[in-house]
């Protein structure tokens, strides 16, 4: 294989809409997370101040045990947080893997399974190593059993939903549908992370870190999918028309 072909194979994944969309989401999460972390460079303890202020802003000032909003909003928060829980995402992952396998996309099925599993294991590993304490400013509105950083719900949700969104976008020929699919995946990821802070079980920086690392896992998985599946036919395959 000559050098131009090798270069084409390496660059090819970045022509894909889903890879570029995942990169934009990843870059956005990293930028926000980096900006918050950089606050400590100018003012010691600024990150903790940000965490405290954001967390308390979501609670009633006269009763910190009560999240802002009516009781239905609190129930909604629990419903959203469940979308990033291990049981739900495990069932969801197995369903997607089974569907891909039965529709003759076994390579995609394996890549999806491995990618989400790595994200899950990485989040648990980081929790054990960093061992950050959970917020103690407000009562928790749901049960927790692990350390705080990173938010496993946020990280695993980002890795799972953004990867699936990328896979679905890959098979859509209309640009507006690809944008819609990736937008839905991003919104679900955002709602899961915000619900963790709303329920008082994570600091905002836990969620930002989870989003950044989870979207990184999704981006790597999507690049891997394009790299492993496309190179054999990259010279013959034309890029999908991106006209609206």
DSSP state of 230: S
7 pLDDT tier (thresholds 50, 70, 90): very low
Structure confidence at residue 230 (pLDDT): 58
On whether the CB atoms of residues 242 and 17 are closer than 8 A, the answer is: yes
d(C-alpha 181, C-alpha 177), whole Å: 6
**Which phi and psi angles does 90 have, rounded to 5°?**
-65, -50
Give dist(CA 229, CA 189) in Å, integer.
26
pLDDT tens-place string over residues 207-242: 999 999 999 999 999 998 888 875 444 334 334 434
Each domain of the chain, given as residue ranges in start order, spans 3-57+89-233
Would you report the helix, strand and coil content of the chain in percent, each value rounded to 5? 75, 5, 25
Average pLDDT along the chain: 84
CB 29 within 8 A of CB 208: yes
Residue 146 is predicted with a pLDDT of 82
- What confidence category does residue 243 fall into, taking pLDDT thresholds of 50, 70 and 90? very low
Q: Which position among 8, 15, 153, 156 bears the catalytic label?
A: 153
Which of 41-55, 116-130, 131-145 has the lowest average pLDDT?
Answer: 131-145
Instruction: Give residue 189's pLDDT.
Output: 96
- Is 8 assigned a catalytic role? no
Q: What is the pLDDT of residues 147-176, one digit of tens each?
A: 889 999 999 999 999 999 999 988 888 889
Given this model, what pLDDT does residue 216 score? 95
Q: Has residue 138 got a pLDDT over 90?
A: no
Its pTM stands at: 0.86
Classified as helix, coil or strand, 77 is: helix
| Cβ burial, residue 120 (10 Å; 0-12/13-18/19+) | buried
pLDDT computed for residue 19 by the predictor: 87
Which 8-state DSSP code applies to residue 235? T
Mean per-residue pLDDT, 178-182: 93
What letter does residue 70 receive in the DSSP assignment?
Answer: -
Length of the chain: 244
202 catalytic residue (yes or no): yes
């Amino acid at each position: 294989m000559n050098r131009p072909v090798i270069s084409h194979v390496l660059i090819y994944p970045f022509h894909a809409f889903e890879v570029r969309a995942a990169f934009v989401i990843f870059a956005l999460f990293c930028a926000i997370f980096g900006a918050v972390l950089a606050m400590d460079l100018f003012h010691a303890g600024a990150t903790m101040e940000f965490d405290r202020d954001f967390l308390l802003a979501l609670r009633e000032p006269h009763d910190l045990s009560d999240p802002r909003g009516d009781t239905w909003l609190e129930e909604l928060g629990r419903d959203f947080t469940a979308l990033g829980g291990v049981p739900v995402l495990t069932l969801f992952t197995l369903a997607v893997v089974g569907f891909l396998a039965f529709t003759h996309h076994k390579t995609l099925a394996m890549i999806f399974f491995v990618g989400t599993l790595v994200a899950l294991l990485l989040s648990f590993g980081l929790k054990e190593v960093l061992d950050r304490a959970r917020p103690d400013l407000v009562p928790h509105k749901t049960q927790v059993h692990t350390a705080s950083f990173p938010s496993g719900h946020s990280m695993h949700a980002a890795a799972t939903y953004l990867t699936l969104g990328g896979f679905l976008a890959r098979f859509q020929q209309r640009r507006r549908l690809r944008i819609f699919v990736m937008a839905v995946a991003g919104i679900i990821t955002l709602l899961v992370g915000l619900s963790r802070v709303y329920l008082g079980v994570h600091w905002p920086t836990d969620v930002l870190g989870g989003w950044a690392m989870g979207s990184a896992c999704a981006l790597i998985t999507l690049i891997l999918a394009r790299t492993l599946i496309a190179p054999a036919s990259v010279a013959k395959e034309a890029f999908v028309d991106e006209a609206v």
